[in-house]
Amino acid sequence: MPRMHCIWYLCKNFFENMSVQHLSEQEKIRREKLEELKKSGIDAYPAPLYPVSHTSLQIKELWAKNSQDPIDVCIAGRIMSVRDMGKANFAVLQDGAGKIQFYIKQDDICPGDDKSLYQTVWKKLIDIGDIIGIKGYVFTTKTGETSVHVKEFTILTKSLRPLPVVKEKDGEAFDEVTDPEFRYRQRYADLIVNPGVKETFIKRTKMMNAIREFLNERGALEVDTPVLQSIPGGAAARPFATHHNALDVPMYMRIANELYLKRLIVGGFEWVYEFSRNFRNEGMDRTHNPEFTVLEFYVAYKDYEWMMETTEQLLEKTAIATNGSSKVMVGDKEIDFKAPYKRVTMYEAIKEFTGFDIGEMDENGIREVCQQLGIHADVKWGKGKLIDEIFGEKCEGNYIQPTFITDYPVEMSPLTKKHRSKPGLVERFELMCNGKEIANAYSELNDPIEQRERFEEQAQLMERGDDEAMFIDHDFLRALEYGMPPTSGIGFGIDRIAMLLTNQHSIQDVLFFPMMRPEKMD
């Protein structure tokens, strides 16, 4: 036997033996049942084609319309509970559309003398969590529950790991599994045992479809831009670094797709958008995940005033499409996405909640304000970062209803056009809702000379140690030199909007597979 093959074989046996040693008693029993099924000539993992005719929901809807005529059905799903009554059982089957009760009786599935399919296979070798197919007809029980009377059943998948127990009463879960370590790490099991989780993600998809429809109806073009970038541009954030072996060059996971979308505006597209997966090598908390989804779009010949109106229209329509109303409950607060939204300037907000008018202050003056307010002011930070900290610490959390914070200091916005009438400011807004930013927009800077100067100021901050300062993107500057028309752009935090529209308090609850520490495998 070749040496490498020997090593592979030894490693395979080692890990298989180790995994068997760590099996729970229930897992060992289920594997023994699997072996018994094999000995009985039953394939516990047959070919995938099974002739499903109805979902659980379709059966209930059809029967509700006409319970006089017999309906033959073929349905497949996972066994969620069993009530053993000797020679007959009631059980619950869960498929992608919901749950339905079924009734299985020994003499129906074993009409002859051989009762082993019921007495041995069904009663002894089938477990909760197994996936089966059943054929039969629909009926109503004495308690009025729509059910399927089984005439034939087929094992489609043997489950080797028991599901967490969820208690139910009258069809409603009242003891759901809430352990976040289990729920986020084993989302597949979370989706099985916690019925409301699937609804959250269905709503997220409805939300994204509504946004796409809004943009497509107005002539926007959906595009794709690179995830691996030689320069991580378009935002002030710390990137994930990697290496391209073939080219032997450092690469970065994108922190934003802004600069590539603007290149397309230069190239002649007048409205482009992208749902992008972005990556920022920063902390994790209730509203931050290192990998997240952003919608960005850019429109030629528009400004940030137009963008505010468009944002109001988009979010109002999206809320209605997702929940049937512009109003949503977030915890105990009712938030209304109906347009129009309140508008407050950045300096007005800071003055209202701190008492300080910082509009005319230099960096040293603002640093002193931070000290008086008890806000950490790192020596590496410039004026823009200090203002951002003041707003984040003292103002942001006060905006519950959708509110546009407008007219930011130029130091905070290196990619934004200067305000047409307010010196020292730029034409930018952030949309605050439930105490957090959910969108950020500009009248885009399209002067290549000024843009170069702004990038150079960012490079100086980077030299001071600010690891969130922007790189100089020389190719983007070259693109601007060809001429970018007056443009407005925006980025929406899709995960945060999903949190609002599904009444979730943690970003992990709207991500199928949130980032977690590596699991310790015993």
Six-digit token string for 511 = 């991500």
pLDDT of 19 reads: 52
pTM for the structure as a whole: 0.88
Which class for 207: exposed (0-12), middle (13-18), buried (19 or more C-beta within 10 A)? buried
Interacting residues of 11 by C-beta distance below 8 A, sequence separation 6+: none
323-362: b (≥16 Cβ within 10 Å) or e: beebebebeeeebebebebeebbbbbbbeebbebebeebe
pLDDT of 290 reads: 95
Low-confidence ranges of the chain (pLDDT < 70): 1-21, 166-176, 521-522
pLDDT of 3 reads: 53
Determine how β-strand 291-300 pairs with β-strand 228-229. unpaired
The residues pairing with 342 across neighbouring beta strands, listed in sequence order, are: 403
Q: Give the separation between CA 102 and CA 148, rounded to whole angstroms.
A: 4
Q: Give the separation between CA 420 and CA 409, rounded to whole angstroms.
A: 13
| Coil vs helix vs strand at 54 | coil
Q: Does CATH place domain 197-341+401-510 in 3.10.450.350?
A: no
pLDDT digits (tens, 9 = 90+) for 467-479: 777 888 999 999 9
Name the nearest CA neighbour of 122 among 103, 139, 146.
103
pLDDT of 5 reads: 56
For residue 239, which phi and psi values (nearest 5 degrees)? -90, 165
pLDDT of 67 reads: 87
pLDDT of 18 reads: 47
CATH superfamily for domain 21-163:
Nucleic acid-binding proteins (2.40.50.140)
Q: Give the separation between CA 384 and CA 371, rounded to whole angstroms.
A: 16
pLDDT of 520 reads: 77
What ranges do the domains of the chain cover?
A: 21-163, 197-341+401-510
Is residue 164 within 8 A of residue 141, CB to CB? The reply is no
